[in-house]
Amino acid sequence: MHGDGPARIGYATGWLVHALPEGRIIEHGGTTYGYTSAVRFDPDRRIGVIVLTNLAHQGGLAGPVSKYALDLIQGREPVDYVARVEQLVAARDEVASAPQNVPVHPPLAWYEGVYRHPALGEIDIRARGDRLVYTIGPRAVPVSAVRIADDRFEQTWHFDGDPDAAILTAPMQFESAGAQAPTRVLIGDLAFDAVRATH
């Protein structure tokens, strides 16, 4: 996400497309061992930013730096994206270091099920140990998600299946509206509707 205001996000032949009140952003990033990159541009202002780094910091600095630059270019109040990532990581670590005899509700198995997005297809979310896992896309990119609150998770997409090589991290929020099982899951800004529960 860019900024703190309203936005829509889509996926267009390999590019993520953000529609914000201040203008469009077309972007993508990449990660390999020890390196991260981010390419972001505003097609209406005909300006872009490319950040390449060999410094890994909670998934890389290329994304936060390029987002900050686009906030300035498009006239938004800039956000400290590095601090935002650090807050998510701290919340995740706090959950991980909590006493193991304290039950966490609801149990991870409650979120298991098949969820569908009209453009990205189906994902089959399963509980594995202390996290949720699924694969996404035609290349079956593995994703793992760690709980940071009852229905909120931080998910990480992994490069070539390596758990230590993250492609990106994003928030994950389940919604149930009082139902017996989740009715949908928000992955970033993308809504996947529940098709069926598997627990």
Do residues 40 and 25 make contact, with C-beta atoms less than 8 angstroms apart?
yes
CA distance 57 to 85: 9
H-run or E-run covering 16: strand 15-20
Determine, yes or no, domain membership for 85.
no
Q: What is the CATH number for 182?
A: 2.40.128.600
Model confidence, pTM: 0.49
Which among 59, 79, 99 is the end of a domain? Answer: 79
Domain count, the chain: 2
Closest among 1, 166, 154, 155 to 67, alpha carbons compared: 1
Cα end-to-end span (Å), the chain = 32
Q: Average pLDDT in the 146-160 region?
A: 82
Please give the residue that has the higher pLDDT: either 79 or 199.
Answer: 79
Query: If DSSP codes are grouped into helix, strand and coil, which group holds residue 181?
Result: coil
Is the pLDDT at 27 greater than 70? The verdict is yes
27: tokens are 């972007």
Strand-pair partners of 51: 38
Residue 162's pLDDT band (cuts 50, 70, 90): low
Q: Which domain holds residue 130?
A: 108-197
- Tell me what the mean pLDDT of segment 44-64 comes to: 81
Per the model's pLDDT, the better-predicted residue between 82 and 185 turns out to be 185
Q: Report whether pLDDT(40) > 70.
A: yes
Tokens read off for 83: 């601090």
In a domain, 93, yes or no: no
Binning pLDDT at 50, 70 and 90, where does residue 31 land? Answer: confident
Answer yes or no: is 101 within a domain: no
